[in-house]
Amino acid sequence: MKSLRNLLLGAGILLLGSCNQAPVSAPAEPAPVDKAAIVLENIMTRASVRSFTAEPVSRETLQTIVRAGLQAPSAMNKQDWEVRVVDSQDKINAICDIMKKANPNAQDRFPDKNSFGNAAALIFIANEVSDQPGAFSAVDAALLAENIVLAAHAMDLGACIQAGPLRSMESAEAQAWLKSLGFSENYQPMLVIPIGHPDQEVTAGQRDASKAKFVE
């Protein structure tokens, strides 16, 4: 009987103690996300990256970046572009060798790397060839390319929109390599974007603000 009394007494003391405890406060609401600041910071800090580490980029990541590209606007929503992603290093090195053969005097920006700075992947963008007036496929393809490099930057990757390398792909051998990408017959490769993990520090260059003016 005494042990039961002691047990009940202990329970009462415990209950009293719990009543005196301060109420548990609700978790604080998370601060609202400043979407504008995030987007603007990504745009203002993006810079072209041309040299990369040997670290690969997963296909899942590349697919996410390409999907972001495909969200770009296009005239009348024609989406008159096609995209091919090459992440095979053997295939990338093959086109680099072809380009060097066609232009052996070209200056190597990175002598210890291939023509695309050892990029983990190349993203080729083709635009639809059309003789119709008002065709904007080249503009649409460029908008897609900008989305791609912004998405890459947001994912801590480097990228660079390039048109020049395609000028080194005019030989029969290079044309055969480009044909292997499987673009539709009425599409022409317009841009290539090397992409990967940067191995160089780059910062966004200064822009000439006087190029944009308000008209009164």
**114 pLDDT more than 70:** yes
Q: Is residue 30 part of a domain?
A: no
Q: Is residue 46 part of a domain?
A: no
Q: Is residue 95 part of a domain?
A: yes
Coil, helix or strand at residue 192: strand
- Strand-pair partners of 121: 195
- The tens digit of pLDDT for each residue in 185-197 reads 999 999 999 999 9
How far is Cα 99 from Cα 114, in angstroms, rounded to an integer? 10
Q: Is residue 125 part of a domain?
A: yes
- The tens digit of pLDDT for each residue in 12-49 reads 444 445 445 556 666 778 888 889 999 999 999 999 99
- pLDDT: which is higher, 95 or 9: 95
Q: Is residue 13 part of a domain?
A: no
Give the number of domains in the chain: 1
| Continuous segment of H or E residues that includes residue 209 | none
Of 138, 197, 181, the closest CA to residue 163 belongs to 138
Give residue 123's domain range: 51-196
Q: Is residue 183 part of a domain?
A: yes
- Average pLDDT score over the chain: 88
pLDDT for 32 equals 85
Domain harbouring 89, CATH code: 3.40.109.10
10 Å Cβ neighbour count for 107?
A: 6
Structure tokens at 202: 């780059």
Q: Is residue 38 part of a domain?
A: no
Q: Is residue 10 part of a domain?
A: no
